[in-house]
Amino acid sequence: MSSTPETQSPTTSARKNRKLGTVVSAKMQKSIVVEVTRFVRNARYGRIQKRTARFLVDDRVFGCRPGDVVEIEETRPLSSRKRWRVKAVVTRGRGALPEIAGEAPAS
């Protein structure tokens, strides 16, 4: 008999919940708002319904912009509403482009 049970391995206990979502707002300095969409089938009628959830996510490394598709993972509480961190940027979106100083808009 080994001292650790075989049903529980150290890798499964450290697994964190991950989700894929779209950046909706990036107006804060170190945080972004990510919207995660999932589809749920109605138990009685079988109709598929779209459910969305918005998460406040810590973004200190990637500099995400609105429209980016990102992978987020669960972490320890970082503030009163922030419990997620950006793991990777899957695709860059067509968010608002930063204005270049000194250029006038073309008329």
Residue type, 72: I
Q: Compute the distance between CA of residue 47 and CA of residue 61 in angstroms, rounded to an integer.
A: 40
For the stretch 25-53, pLDDT in tens is 999 999 999 999 999 999 999 999 999 99
Q: Compute the distance between CA of residue 46 and CA of residue 25 in angstroms, rounded to an integer.
A: 33
Supply 7's token pair: 């049903």
Decide if pLDDT at 97 tops 80: no
- What pTM, to 2 d.p., does this model score? 0.73
Q: Confidence band (pLDDT; 50, 70, 90) for 8? A: low
User: What pLDDT sits at residue 27?
Assistant: 95
For the stretch 10-20, pLDDT in tens is 555 568 899 99
User: Which domains does the chain possess?
Assistant: 16-91 (2.40.50.1000)
